[in-house]
Structure 1
Amino acid sequence: MTYEAAQPSWWSGRQAQHPDYLYQHIRLLNLEDSPARLTETRLPALLGYACEAGVARNQGRVGAAEGPNAIREALGKLPLLHGGPVALADAGNIRENTDMEGAQKGFANCLKTLLETGYFPIGLGGGHDMAYAHYMGLRGLMPGKGRLGMINFDAHLDLRQPVPRGHSGSPYHQMAADCEARGDRFSYACVGVRADANTQELLDRASQWGVLCLSRDSLGDTGAAETRLLAFCESLDAIYLSIDLDGFTSAFAPGVSAASPMGFTPQEILPLLRAVWDTGKVVSMDLAEMNPGLDRDGQTARLAASLIHTALHHPGLL
């Protein structure tokens, strides 16, 4: 596993007389230098998971290792508006193309450091095996009996068995096993589940384990979907939010490991994202499966960047 400290060359944008764009407000953060705890308002910090080994193990299309920097390239060009953060930290990348478990351990340790020093981590992927790494970084920081819940915007349940090893389709199965070993309740909601993207075994497993499944078809009734999602959030103390870009229809997200024309649209999930953010319980988030080698005109990278931009400017999230 290699830790790549963030570089100034990763950030560029439109030349402007005034500091109007995000690339002009980047704070480079080297986690090998033991960053001091923030004394100001909690800052968002990007952390890249430049690993596609889990996608390869899951028989997906590789290329997601270059996802984090593609998202940065699109994000830097967007404006920083009133109501946004004073700055955006970049904590670099965990880079590894073969040792997925090593990448997960490195990402978990870096994420834990960001949380302990007062940042709001935003993971950039990379395969969705990043989700288990993200969970591992969070779980040791829950105070007392604090209950952590996972919300995944995704077509896939990602509850496949990690046999013989974990992969991009197994992170929530691995979380469930860890919760059972620790005596914790497995609290998981998947938004945008598609029948054509999950086997019957996975759907049955979700039902058996009490997973809240909001189907792709149910998203047409935003009010009903929001009610069910907020009911899930009610008993939680903290929420880890993940957005798998392959949940979107390929009209919006062609550059992913498993594209499909039957996914959800940004307009369908933005009200649900805002509702979750409004709970005040989201402690970190990530975006997974960005594959720039399969993207079309940078469309998927721009979608990911716009979602992050929306989060950065959402009142009360940071």
Structure 2
Amino acid sequence: MYIKTDSSIWQGRIDHETDTTYFRYHQIVQTEPTAKQGIVGLIGFSCDEGVRRNNGRVGAKDAPLELRKQLSSLPWRNQVHVDSLIDFGDVVCEGHELEQAQQELGDKVSDILTNGRAIILGGGHETLYGQYLGVRKAAGPDASIGLLNIDAHFDMRSYDKQTSSGTMFKQILDEDPNAHYFVCGIQQYGNTTALFDTADHYNVQYFLDEQLDSSQFTKDLNDFMDAHDVVLVTLCMDVLNASEAPGVSAPSPFGLSALKVRDILRQMVSHKNTVSFSICEVNPSLDINNQTAKLGAYFINEVIMNSFK
């Protein structure tokens, strides 16, 4: 089900009514679709059915609203055209109809990509499959798609019984010979040996959390982005250290720092081939003083400010 955003969500401090150098996000965001080129389109995915199926802690369906609230009062640095940020509302997963909701998200993402870049506010990490469907639809059947994931987990479990928030990348690689997977932040003890074996079988490029300061990581990441026609980026917030991001389904005691994730995001989204970004697994019901949602909003801001350099 698709729901248009209530414009009253975007509110906050006003330092000046007309001078855009004083503006904050809530003074920039529009809630009416436009055919203008060069937009950044926000679309929410209110869903945690995939997390439920994966036996995780539900609550991520409320993240799109909370992320908007936290983003709303951040200063707008005037680096992107003031008419270019559009909130397209939310796709809501009704009941247990995950696959239908993912398809609907894909259609919305594809529509946004006809005029610019898409930012998806998840939702559990099952959001990624809908993001992929939209990128594939917009890019065409023959385009080479690079899947970039910042995550502690491979998300390549078997889906013989049902899909979930832990199966998406295996689904995509099984279905699409023109899609390739690169993941960074993987934790040795966050994945079974079978999952490492599965990643090797599918020729996944992966870097462990302790390998991300190496020159080899930077080189391989750039080579991967250069090698594909289009690139999508997804951030699973459980890759972060639990002290910085407590509000996730599967917190990581040895996770990455926010500064490290910011550096990686900047590299990924500033690349000319990157067309879409999703942020997933923020769980407001588990958060502490909105800490994780606020951090998520700052990451979204980084993506927007680095997408059109």
Q: For residue 13 of structure 1, what is the amino acid of its counterpart?
A: G
Tell me which of 12, 21, 25 is aligned to 1:22: 25
1:144-155 pair list within 5 angstroms: 145-155=142-152
Report the secondary structure of 1:156's partner residue: coil
Tell me if 1:277 matches 2:269: yes
- For residues 183 and 81 of structure 2, the distance between their equivalents in structure 1, rounded to whole angstroms, comes to 29
List, as ranges, runs of 4+ consecutive aligned residues in structure 1 with deviation greater than 4 Å.
none
CA distance 1:62–1:15, shift in 2 (3 Å): same
Pick closer, same or farther for the CA change 1:159–1:85 going to 2, 3 Å.
farther
Following TM superposition, by how much is the alpha carbon of 1:108 offset from its aligned partner in structure 2, in angstroms? 0.9
- 1:55-90 Cα distance to aligned partner (Å, 9 max, x none): 000000000110101100000010101313424210
Amino acid in structure 2 at the alignment position of 1:72: R
Q: Which residue of 2 aligns with 1:57?
A: 53
In the alignment, what sits opposite 1:32? none
Question: What's the CA shift for 1:279?
Answer: 2.4
State the 1:315 CA deviation.
6.0
Superposed CA RMSD: 1.6
* Paired letter, 2:64: P
Letter in 1 for 2:172: M
Q: Residue 133 of structure 2: SS of its match in structure 1? A: helix
Q: Does 1:229 align with 2:232?
A: no
Range with greater deviation from structure 2 (14-23 or 165-174): 14-23
The verdict on how the C-alpha distance between 1:105 and 1:301 changes in structure 2, with shifts beyond 3 A counting, is same
Partner of 2:171: 174
Give, in whole Å, the separation in 1 of the partners of 2:205 and 2:9: 38
The size of the alignment, in residue pairs, is 303
Give the TM-score taking structure 1 as reference length.
0.91
Gaps of 5+ in 2: none
Aligned to 1:124: 121
Work out the CA distance in 1 between the residues paired with 2:60 and 2:154: 19
Counterpart in 1 of 2:40?
Answer: 44
Note the C-alpha offset of 1:50.
Answer: 0.2
CA separation in 2, counterparts of 1:291 and 1:277? 24
2:76 corresponds to 1:95: no
Q: 1:196 aligns with which of 189, 195, 203?
A: 189
* Residues 44 and 85, structure 1, Cα contact 8 Å, conserved in 2: no
1:144 is displaced (CA, Å) by 6.7
Which of 300, 304, 316 lines up with 2:292 in the alignment? 300
- 2:76 counterpart residue number: 80
Q: Per-residue CA shift, 1:141-164, capped at 9, x if unaligned?
A: 224732111000000100011131
Letter in 1 for 2:30: R
Task: State the distance in 2 between where 1:215 and 1:270 align.
Answer: 17
Structure 2 CA distance for aligned equivalents of residues 294 and 268 of structure 1: 23
Percent of aligned positions that are identical: 29
Tell me which residue corresponds to 2:205.
Answer: 212
TM superposition shift of 1:252: 1.2
Q: 1:255 aligns with which of 247, 255, 262?
A: 247
- 1: CA distance between counterparts of 2:255 and 2:308? 29
Code of the aligned partner of 1:261: P
Q: TM-score, normalised by structure 2?
A: 0.94
Paired residue type of 1:28: T
User: How far 1:114 moved relative to its partner?
Assistant: 1.2
State the AA in 2 paired with 1:225. F
Per the TM alignment, residue 98 of structure 1 is displaced from its structure 2 partner at its CA by: 2.0
Among 271, 278, 301, the residue aligned to 1:309? 301
Equivalent residue letter for 1:25: I
Q: 1:197 to 1:272 in 2, by over 3 A?
A: same
Contact 2:14/2:24, CA 8 A, preserved across alignment? no
Cα deviation, 1:166-201, whole Å, max 9, x if unaligned, reads 10001101101111xxxx233100010011111111
> Contact 2:242 / 2:251 at 8 angstroms: preserved in 1?
yes
| Correspondence list, 1:160-171, <5 A | 160-171=157-168
Give 1:66's match in structure 2, choosing from 56, 62, 69: 62
Alpha-carbon distance between aligned partners in 2 of 1:9 and 1:208, rounded to the nearest angstrom: 49
Aligned partner of 2:43: which letter? L
